[in-house]
Chains A and B, each alone.
Chain A
C-alpha cells in the first residue's frame, strides 16, 4: 500500500471514529508518516477540531425511554461504572420515529454514538438504506459475535453484516391465569393445540369464571404472524419487482388463512374491544388485551412473554400466571424479535461503544432483575441474547432462576421461532393490511380469502404509490 493510501485509510478511520487521535498518530508513526500525522491533526488543517471532539466527548448512547424505565440498573450499574463516563440520553423516538437520526446523518453528523431501542424488522432496513447506521462487524469482538444465539444473529444481519447488537428478546408465547382456569375446572396444563385452546377458553366463559376466555393483541406482528408461524413458517413470498430482495408476509398463504380463522374464533371469546388500538406509542402499546389480562377478566392470552409477566405482578396472586409455547397448529413455531443497539455512522467513540454494549448486555445483575423482577416491584421479563450467559445461568442455577422457570421455556422457543424478515415494510405491511383482514374478523367480509387478498393488494398498492416498486 502506498504511503498516500495508508494515510487516507487511517484518515478515514479517524474520521469515522474507528481510531482515536492517539491511535491515529501511533499508526502514522508506524507507517513512517509521523510528520503527516502531526500536520493533519494541527488546528490549521481543519481536521484537528474533529479529532479533539472525538476525544473530548464522552460516549453518548441514547435509549428508547421504556428500556431505561424498566431496567433501572442501566443507569446505576452500567453507566455509573463505565470507565471514562457515559452521557446517556433518552432518544427522541416516540412512536418509533427515527426522523431525527436520519436528518442528522444527512448532514454527516450525529449527536449520539449508539441508539439502544432498534427493533430489526421495524426500522433497521430503513436506517441501513438511509446510511444512518453502520455494521458492528469491524468493531465487535469475534467471541461476542460467535456467542450470539444463531437465530438472533440471523435476525440482526443484513447482507451478511450485523447492524443490530441485540439486547432484549421478545418471543410470542401463550399465558394463562390459573386462578381463572382452575375455577373453570380446567386442568393446569398448557393447551397443546388451537382447538384445545379455544375449547378451554369457551369453558372459561361458559362456567362464568371470567367474562372472556382468551384475548390477543390486534397488531398483526403480535397475533396474525405468530399464529401463522405456529401452523407453518412457510408464509412469506418474494414480491416481483421488489428491489429489496427480502420477502413479505403472504396474507393469502394457507397458514395465514388458517391463522385468521383461529383469530376469528378467539375474538368471539375475547373482550368486545380486542381490536381497538392501544394508548401509547401511536396505539401500539398498552393495548386492550393487556388491560383485560391485567384486570383478570380473561384467562388465556397470546403475547410476548414480558407482557403477562408485567401484568401478573398486579394480581392478588401473581403465582397464578402460567406461560407456555404457543399452541401448535402444525409446525409449532412462533415469532420473536430483539430490541438492540445500532451504531451511528457519524457517531464517535466506536470502540467505546463496543465496550459499553458488552458491559450492558453481559451484565448479570440486569439479567437477574429482568428475570426475577426488580425490587421496586415491576417485572421487565426480558432475556439475554448470548449463549454464554445462558450457559452460566444453567451451571450456577441460582434460586431466582429456579423460581422463574419460564425463562428457559422462552429460550427453548428460540429454537423454533422465526423473525419477521427485515423488509422496509416488515412492520408496516401489517399496519396497512389490518383494516382488510379485520373485515373478516368483524363479519363485514364473510370470505377470508377475499379479505386477505385485499390486505395483500393494499400493501403492494402502497409500495407502488410511494415509488418503492
Chain B
C-alpha cells in the first residue's frame, strides 16, 4: 500500500513533465517566452553589460570593459546623490497621498447603496485615469502657469491674495514644484487606486462587520480591526508598485522641468536620460551604471516594505 501511495504522485509528476516535453505544449509557451526574452531579459542583460564598459552611443570606437569604474564614479557623483534624494522626496509626498486618499474615497463609495449612483461615482473617479499621460501633464502645466493659469488667476485677480510679483510659482525652481507634481499624480491615479480598494472592500465578508457590531464595536474600531487588516494585501501591492513608479518618474519631470540641473525635477532618472541621449558622445555605459545604482536602492527599500507588510498571522 505504502509503495502505491508514493508511486502515484511520482507518476503524476512524470506525466506532467512528459506533457511539457511534448512539443505542442511548448508551442503555447513560446510567444510569451519570446517576448519575455526579447523585451525584458535581453535589454536587462544588455544594460548590465554596458554598465561595465565605456560605451558611448555616438562614438565609433569599440567599447572597452572598464570594470567597476562607472559604478565607483557614479557613487561619488553629487548629481546622482542629489537626484536620488530628490526622487525620494517626491516619493515620500506622493506615496501617502496615493494610498490614503483612494482608501478614504473607496470607503465612502463603498457605503453608497444606490447601485446607479455607485456606478456613476466609479465612472467619474475613473475619468482622469483614462486620459493619456502627456495630456494630463500639459493640462496641469496650464493649470499651474504663473501668468495665465487658472489657479494664479483666481488667487491674484479674484481673491486678491497675491500680486503677480509674489504669486506662487507652482513649477520650476520653487519649493512648491514637487508637491504640485505629486498632487497631479494623486488626481490622476485617484480612480485607478480607488478601484483597488473597492475590490478589497468587496472581498471582506459582511459577517465580520455584523459580528463586530454584535460585540459593540464602533465604526472606527471596525475600520481599524476589521477593514484595515483585510486590506493589507492591497496595501502591499499598491505601496510596492507605486514606490517603484514614483522613484522612477521621468516623463513628468522632463515635461514640467526640462534639463535645468538646479530644478527639483532634475532627479537621477532625468540625469541618466540626459547623459545617455544629450550630452557629448552619449556616455550610455555611465548612464547604465547610474540606472543600476538607482534600481539597487529601490530594491533595498522594496525589500524593507515587504518586511514591514509581512504576514504576521
Binding site for B on A (CB under 8 A): 95-97, 99, 102, 126, 129-131, 211, 271-273, 275-279, 282-284, 288, 291-292, 295, 297, 424-425, 428, 431-432, 434-435, 438, 442, 462-463, 465-468
Contact = CB atoms under 8 A, between A and B. Distances in A.
A375 to B, nearest CB: 27
Name the 4 nearest CB pairs between A and B, nearest first: A283-B258, A276-B172, A435-B262, A273-B146
Contacts of A434: 260-262
B58 A102 contact: yes
B281 interface: yes
B3 interface: no
A279 B260 contact: no
Most-contacted residue by chain B among A273, A434, A462 (CB, 10 A): A273
Interface string B54-69: 1011111000000000
Interface in B24-80: 54, 56-60, 73, 77
Contacts of B286: 465-466
Interface string B135-164: 000100110011110000000000000001
Contact of B277 (A97, A279, A432, A466): A97
Contacts of B166: 272
Most-contacted residue by chain A among B58, B148, B167, B257 (CB, 10 A): B58
Nearest to B171: A276
B279 A462 contact: yes
Contact of B60 (A96, A131, A432): A131
Nearest to A277: B258
Interface SS of B by simple majority: loop
Given A273-B169, A463-B280, 17 more contacts: A99-B282, A126-B281, A126-B282, A272-B164, A272-B167, A276-B171, A276-B172, A277-B263, A283-B259, A284-B258, A288-B146, A428-B278, A434-B262, A442-B173, A462-B279, A465-B73, A465-B77
A292 B277 CA distance: 31
A288 B147 contact: yes
Contacts of B57: 99, 102, 130
B90 interface: no
Contact of B257 (A129, A283, A465): A283
Contacts of B77: 465
Interface of B: 54, 56-60, 73, 77, 138, 141-142, 145-148, 164-167, 169, 171-173, 254-263, 275, 277-283, 286
Contacts of B164: 211, 271-272, 297
A452 to B, nearest CB: 15
A281 to B, nearest CB: 8
B133 to A, nearest CB: 13
17 contacts: A96-B278, A130-B57, A130-B59, A271-B147, A272-B165, A276-B171, A277-B172, A283-B255, A288-B146, A291-B145, A295-B147, A295-B148, A431-B259, A435-B260, A466-B286, A467-B54, A467-B283
A435 B257 CA distance: 13
A291 B164 CA distance: 14
Contacts of A131: 60
Given A431-B259, A466-B275, A291 B148 contact: yes
B60 A130 contact: yes
Contacts of A102: 57-58, 282
A134 to B, nearest CB: 14
A291 B147 contact: yes
A95 B251 CA distance: 12
B283 to A, nearest CB: 4
Contact of A425 (B141, B169, B255, B280): B280
A273 B77 CA distance: 30
Nearest to B146: A273
A200 to B, nearest CB: 20
A396 to B, nearest CB: 41
Contact of B281 (A129, A277, A291, A431): A129
Nearest to A99: B277
Given A295-B147, A467-B281, A282 B169 contact: no
B173 A276 contact: yes
B277 to A, nearest CB: 5
A283 B283 contact: no
A468 B254 CA distance: 25
B56 to A, nearest CB: 7
B146 A271 contact: yes
Contacts of A272: 146, 164-167, 169
A256 B164 CA distance: 30
A283 B54 CA distance: 29
Nearest to A442: B173
B280 A297 contact: no
Nearest to A424: B280
B254 A283 contact: yes
Contacts of A273: 146-147, 169, 172
Contacts of B260: 277, 283, 431, 434-435
B146 A276 contact: yes
Nearest to A289: B147
Nearest to A279: B141
Contacts of A277: 171-172, 256-258, 260, 263
B279 A428 contact: yes
A397 B105 CA distance: 68
A251 B172 CA distance: 24
A44 B86 CA distance: 60
Contacts of B167: 272
Contacts of B147: 271, 273, 288, 291-292, 295, 297
Nearest to B66: A467
Given A95-B254, A211-B164, A466 B279 contact: yes
Nearest to A281: B258
Contacts of A97: 277
Contacts of A463: 280
Nearest to B142: A279
A278 B145 CA distance: 10
